[in-house]
């Protein structure tokens, strides 16, 4: 382990930290197939224009298992480990490049030669370079060491971690005749910014609360009042509530969906499935991949 890193001991502690809450509904399933992960205080040293700075990274994930809990269980156990390893791997390669192209100080973005850095990275990584997504990594280099650099590294590490989890589980599922799978929604938090990734149809929502002044509340509620009045659903109690809110101000709650489901009825997903040799067929009133899966992306489902 890198001595600069301070990792939360998530193996010996409950996976739900005091700042995380979760609830799961088993429904009609014979057993609970869903899993969650919450680690909020991983401290990672990143290079910046002013030198090394420590970034606190949090990761929250939900895995919605189906046809068994094997896929969601493995994903929840391996995600943090794989994510940390890939982040360290990418940073180690970057530090190696920097140490060979500078005099011990991190260079300012205007001093970097992207072509030279990419060439040096290829030399350092050797055969492993071909295992990387070079196009995405060129984008990482283009970010250089500005304020968005660490976000590019985290995004690449997360993509590689999810890919490796799917590969490992698929190999194990093939050997042991396991048919389970899992969707995934992962949220990374770093410097008050969110990176959100999803597989399948698990969703992520951003819920926020804003206080509106009496003037702003009056305008908002007047529009809402007119709309509900047209629908014939305004009561005396509603009018009184609106009057009080417009005189005292209003706490406004907003919800924004951050993910987009991977369903076979999406044109881009249908095209991807058919290009891979699959078919989208209707069964039970839903479009399904090869007449079976109602989602086009998942961990497992071998």
Residues 6+ positions from 113 with CB-CB distance below 8 Å: 101
DSSP state string for 107-155: PPGGG--HHHHHHHHHHHHGGGGGGS-HHHHHHHHHHTTSTTHHHHHHH
Residue whose structure tokens are 């990387």: 132
Give the C-alpha separation, 61 to 22, whole Å.
Answer: 10
Whether residue 144 is predicted with pLDDT greater than 90 in this model: the reply is: no
Give the C-alpha separation, 299 to 83, whole Å.
Answer: 16
* 8 A C-beta contact, residue 249 and residue 211: yes
Condensed to tens digits (0 to 9), the pLDDT of residues 63-108 reads 999 999 999 999 999 999 999 999 988 888 776 665 555 444 443 3
Give the C-alpha separation, 297 to 157, whole Å.
Answer: 19
* 8 A C-beta contact, residue 65 and residue 34: yes
* Top-ranked range on mean pLDDT: pick from 88-102, 112-126, 267-281: 267-281
Condensed to tens digits (0 to 9), the pLDDT of residues 14-41 reads 444 567 888 888 988 899 999 999 998 8
Give the pLDDT of residue 15: 46
Give the C-alpha separation, 94 to 150, whole Å.
Answer: 11
Residues 6+ positions from 145 with CB-CB distance below 8 Å: 47, 48, 49, 106, 107, 108, 109, 112
Give the C-alpha separation, 17 to 15, whole Å.
Answer: 6
Lowest mean pLDDT among 2-6, 182-186, 194-198, 203-207: 2-6
pLDDT band of 10, cuts 50, 70, 90: very low
Give the C-alpha separation, 35 to 62, whole Å.
Answer: 6
Whether residue 208 is predicted with pLDDT greater than 50 in this model: the reply is: yes
With vertex at residue 76, the alpha carbon angle to CA 62 and CA 187, rounded to the nearest 5 degrees, is 40
E strand intervals along the chain: 35-48, 51-63, 65-66, 181-182, 184-190, 193-199, 205-212, 250-257, 280-283, 286-289, 299-300
Whether residue 191 is predicted with pLDDT greater than 90 in this model: the reply is: no
Whether residue 136 is predicted with pLDDT greater than 80 in this model: the reply is: no
Report percent pLDDT > 70 for the chain.
71
Instruction: Report phi then psi at 79, rounded to 5.
Output: -55, -50
Q: Which residues pair with 170 in a beta bridge?
A: none
């Amino acid at each position: 382990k890198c001595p600069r890193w301070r990792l939360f001991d998530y193996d010996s502690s409950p996976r739900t930290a005091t700042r995380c809450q979760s609830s799961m509904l088993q429904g009609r399933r014979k057993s609970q197939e869903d899993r969650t992960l919450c680690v909020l205080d991983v401290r990672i040293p990143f290079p910046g224009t002013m030198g090394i700075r420590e970034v606190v990274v949090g990761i929250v994930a939900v895995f919605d298992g189906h046809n068994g809990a094997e896929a969601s269980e493995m994903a929840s156990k391996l995600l943090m480990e794989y994510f940390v390893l890939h982040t360290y791997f990418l940073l180690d390669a970057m530090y190696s490049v920097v140490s060979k192209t500078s005099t011990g100080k991190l260079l300012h973005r205007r001093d970097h030669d992207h072509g030279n850095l990419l060439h040096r990275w290829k030399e350092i990584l050797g055969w492993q370079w071909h295992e990387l997504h070079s196009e995405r990594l060129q984008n990482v280099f283009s970010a250089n060491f500005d304020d968005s650099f660490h976000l590019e590294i985290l995004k690449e590490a997360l993509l590689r971690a999810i890919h490796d989890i799917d590969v490992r589980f698929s190999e194990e599922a093939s050997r042991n005749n396991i048919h389970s799978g899992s969707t995934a929604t992962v949220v990374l938090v770093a410097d008050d910014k969110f990176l959100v990734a999803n597989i399948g149809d698990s969703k992520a929502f951003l819920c926020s609360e804003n206080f509106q002044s009496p003037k702003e509340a009056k305008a908002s509620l007047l529009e809402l009042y007119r709309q509900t009045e047209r629908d014939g659903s305004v009561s005396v109690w509603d009018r009184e509530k609106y009057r009080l809110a417009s005189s005292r101000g209003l706490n406004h709650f907003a919800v924004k969906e951050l993910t987009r489901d991977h369903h076979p009825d999406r044109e881009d997903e249908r095209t991807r499935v058919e290009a891979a040799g699959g078919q989208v067929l209707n069964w039970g009133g839903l479009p399904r991949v090869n007449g079976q899966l109602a989602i086009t992306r998942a961990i497992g489902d071998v």
